Amino acid sequence: MQTRTRDIVILIAGLAVLASVVLGGYAAVRARAEGTGATQVLAPVPRITPAPSGTAEPQYERWTVGVARRPLTVYRRADASSPVITKLPMQTSADYPMVVLVDSVKTVGDRVWYRVWVPIRPNETRGWIREGHIALYSTTSKIVIDLSERTLSVYRRGVLAKQFPVAVGKPGLATPTGSYYITQKLRPADPNGVYGVLQLGTSAFQPKLNDWPDGGQVGIHGTNEPWLIGKAVSHGCVRMKNKDVKVVSRLVPTGSPVEIVK
């Protein structure tokens, strides 16, 4: 998942308010999640141009995240007359700002369109959103989850920053592989509960759990059973030690890509 080339620099002003709230069913907690920050400054989308002959290419990846400024209509093509894939509200079901991860950008006529990953079934769904409906910021952080090794690795500016042991989905309810992103950061009301001190939502869904809260969304979260870390025991979510998930949250902004591999 990489931000594609576009021919102009988009200068964005303002703040994306990323308040921490609780997972559905818990009482709302408006205090900011530890280490995440309540807001993120919106950064310009970088201009990516061919490197002059004899010079080095950029040494790290950079991705663009969109924050909904109004309800979003996601089209199958970069054309307002094409079929609508989905409509997204400005907030998630937990009242967290709706974010999407930009895949590519193109201009059709006099209008700019963004192709984005969206947090719906089926997994890895992408569609097109018109310019003016999202505010943008950038991230150089990425999560890679290796199901075979049962590890979660955080990369920043292309360099491995931290690696942690995790628990993953059990046989029959495996954590789905693919390309996703962090959709929200939630603090459960009970830090001693099954979600631990913090949950990072992802755009992935466990295919067999349609009737679960939030449609079976796969989370990266803490746990009250740390002795199970390193095993395949969950219903598709990725469990971490509470101290580890707080470190991941500090290193990885909302909207950052998540690659889940076997």
Question: Nearest to residue 28, comparing CAs of 187, 209, 157?
Answer: 187
221 is a catalytic site residue: yes
3 state SS of 8: coil
Q: Please, what's the b/e burial string for 131-165 (b: 16 or more CB within 10 A of its CB; e: otherwise)? A: eebbbbbbbebbbbbbbeebebbbbbeeeeeeebb
* CA–CA distances in Å: residue 241 to residues 15, 32, 151, 260, 262: 31, 20, 12, 19, 21
Query: Which among 237, 238, 240, 258 is annotated as catalytic?
Result: 237
Alpha helix ranges (H) inside the chain: 242-251
**Catalytic status, residue 237:** yes
Q: Structure tokens of 60?
A: 């790290």
Which pair of tokens denotes residue 203? 């755009």
In eight-state DSSP terms, residue 191 is T
Residue 208 to residue 183: CA distance in whole angstroms: 20
Of 221, 239, 241, 246, which is the active-site residue?
221
Mention every residue, 6+ apart, whose C-beta is less than 8 A from residue 132: 69
Determine the 3-state secondary structure of 75 from DSSP: strand
* Catalytic residue numbers, as ranges: 221, 237
